[in-house]
Amino acid sequence: MKKRFFSILLSLCMVLMLFPATAFAEGNTGITISGPDVVCAQQNYYFTATAPEGVNLDKGFGFDTGGKGSGVDMTIDENGVGHGVMLTEWYDLNTNYFDLSVYGYTADQQFVSATKRVQVSQDHVYVDGVCGCGAIDGYIVEYIGSGDDPICMEVKTHGKNLTLRGETFTKDGYVQTGWVDKETGAVYALGDTYTEDADVTLNPVWDELITLSVPFTTTVKLGGEAVPGETTFKLAIVGANADDSQYADVTVSASVTTNGEGSYEGTMTLSGPSRQLNDMLCEGAFVQQVNEGKDGWTYDDTVWGLLLWQGIAEYSTDDAATEDTVLILPVICEEADDGMYYDLDWEANPVDRMTFTNTYTKSAQPAENNPNTGDSSNLTLWFALLAVSAAGVISTGVHSKRRRSS
């Protein structure tokens, strides 16, 4: 009797043991566990469990490290997907792995399950230079203005480019134009791309802000009988042998206000970072009046060339000449397919100042209180004569201007 009981019990146990084994086989084709195959020992392991249609996912999951195990709850979202977390404190650093198991039941109460083995890595697991635990496989980029303390640091990921900071530091009379690695001497532009897989300390590259002055004279000539009132004339840079991106921060100011016939002195100022001014003027920049088309004026369209002359001290003992000097040279203008082409007239001697002569070609209008000289036909004739004479003056003005610029 006793023996029979044990036999039944044994069969029952065998059946019970068999049951999950069968269910296991079915489950392998059903529930999916999604998550990395390796996790850093410092990082919690996050996974999702998805059951196929018709299978109800159990919220409990199990883990087994080979040394210990337990059951924990997942969160099942509105789509029926389970979200589980395996905490670092449950990791077993003797076995360095764990098996996750999730379960479910079909509509007819059949048991299904799935298992996934995850390796626990003592080393960080870098993906694009960053480990899930927050550790970064990278290089320190320090930015130091003055002194030893960096104002900020950035981490450059191994194998990935880093965009360096733009203008960060300020200094009176200077402008930051780049970065320099004093150790290697490497120079970077602001916002440049740093490609080295190495730590780096960057200091600002300073460029002195300077102002260059170029004198000019604007002469007002009368082409008619009328005297012009206060009139302002402006000069502008119309080109340079350098690309204009090379002097993008240079500001130019040049205007003179005239009042009637005579010569008026003005100063053109060019302000900006010294390197940009040097780039702009080292091979010639070209200046012309701005033709604003003011009524009655014929503008002188002469183009003058400016050339930065440095290092005069090498040839001269005059200490005063060590400063940057801007030479003013006549310009050769050539009409090209893509506009005007200018070049310095190297054969010519530099001049002391740029000169422009503008002609006011209006003749005096009859004032309103002039005595009436006759009938309206006489007046018409008078205006006709006036127009003819004005046209003559204009054509003379244009002619002389052309001669001057050629």
Binding site for Zn ion (CB under 5 A): 40, 42, 124, 131, 133, 135
CA-wise closest residue to 80 among 23, 32, 27: 32
Cβ proximity to Zn ion: between 131 and 331 the closer is 131
Smallest distance, Zn ion to C-beta of residue 135, A: 4
268 in Cβ contact with 286 (< 8 Å): no
Residue among 131 and 212 whose Cβ is closer to Zn ion: 131
CA separation (Å) from 322 to 71, 173, 271, 313, 317? 84, 20, 19, 5, 9
DSSP, residue by residue, 293-311: --TTEE-----EEEEEE--
Which residue, 47, 33, 12, 21, is CA-closest to 111?
21
Beta bridge pairs of residue 106 = 55
CB 340 within 8 A of CB 353: no
Tell the smallest beta-carbon distance from residue 39 to Zn ion (Å).
9
CB of 42 to Zn ion, least distance (A): 5
**Residue with Cβ nearer Zn ion (132 or 272):** 132
User: Whole-number minimum distance, CB 124 to Zn ion, in Å?
Assistant: 4
Minimum gap (Å) between residue 116 Cβ and Zn ion: 20
What is the smallest separation between the CB atom of 46 and Zn ion, expressed in angstroms? 14
- What would you measure as the largest C-alpha separation in the chain, in angstroms? 156
Give 118 or 390: the residue with its C-beta nearer to Zn ion.
118
Q: Which is nearer to Zn ion, 136 or 327 (CB)?
A: 136
Task: Report which of 282, 287, 271, 69 is spatially closest to residue 175, judged by C-alpha positions.
Answer: 271
Residue 26 phi, psi dihedral angles, 5° rounding: -65, -45
Cβ-based neighbours of 396, under 8 Å, separated by 6 or more: 223
Task: Rank residues 42 and 115 by Cβ distance to Zn ion and give the closer one.
Answer: 42
Tell me whether residue 40 or residue 200 sits nearer to Zn ion (CB atom): 40
- Shortest reach from residue 137's CB to Zn ion, in Å: 10
Residues paired with residue 339 on neighbouring β-strands, in sequence order? 336
